[in-house]
Amino acid sequence: MIVVRPVAPRASRTAVIAASVPLDTRRRSVGVDTTFAAADYPKGDTVYVITKAAAAALTVGAPSKAQDGLRLTFLSATAAAHTVTSAAGFYGDTTGSDIATFAAKIGASMTIEANAGAWGVIALGNVTIA
């Protein structure tokens, strides 16, 4: 037996979705070279929008094990070759993968996730790690 249920008109569904999605309170601007330490990381996933006109040099310190699962996204709002550095290396091999270099393009991005006291790469968009 197939049961068919009526579907609300598109406008009604959109209104319900919009009402249930909270405003993005985890979006922060970074306009200067910055070093982040475990104590600086937010309690929830956060997007850092890089607004520095020239290349920004950002450094991420190791997260604590209590921060496992925390995701940070770095998104370039300027056409500059920003860097994000992790001393432990994004692939756990120190100097082989310690620097993520953004293409000088607006919209270049990287997402990393804390796991067991280290950062792992989840996604790269116009970013090279070496």
pTM of the model: 0.81
What is the spatial distance between Cα 52 and Cα 76, in angstroms, rounded to a whole number? 9
What are the structure tokens assigned to 110, written together?
């990287």
Chain segment 46-90, per-residue pLDDT in tens: 999 999 999 999 999 999 999 999 999 999 999 999 999 999 999
Whole-number pLDDT of residue 21:
46
pLDDT band, residue 11 (cuts 50/70/90): very low
At position 53, the amino acid (one-letter code) is A
β-bridge mates for residue 115, sequence order: 118
Whole-number pLDDT of residue 89:
96
What is the spatial distance between Cα 28 and Cα 56, in angstroms, rounded to a whole number? 15
Residue 41 has pLDDT above 50, yes or no: yes
pLDDT average, residue stretch 1-29 = 54
Q: Out of 2.60.120, 3.30.70, 1.10.3470, 3.40.120, which CATH number does the structure's domain 25-129 have?
A: 2.60.120
Q: Where are the domains of the chain?
A: 25-129
- The upper half-sphere exposure of residue 79, i.e. CA atoms within 13 Å in the direction of its Cβ, equals 1
What are the structure tokens assigned to 7, written together?
């579907």
Tell me which of 4-8, 64-68, 85-89, 120-124 is least confident: 4-8
What are the structure tokens assigned to 111, written together?
């997402």
What is the spatial distance between Cα 110 and Cα 102, in angstroms, rounded to a whole number? 9
What is the spatial distance between Cα 99 and Cα 62, in angstroms, rounded to a whole number? 14
Handedness of CA 60, 30, 76, 101 (dihedral sign): negative
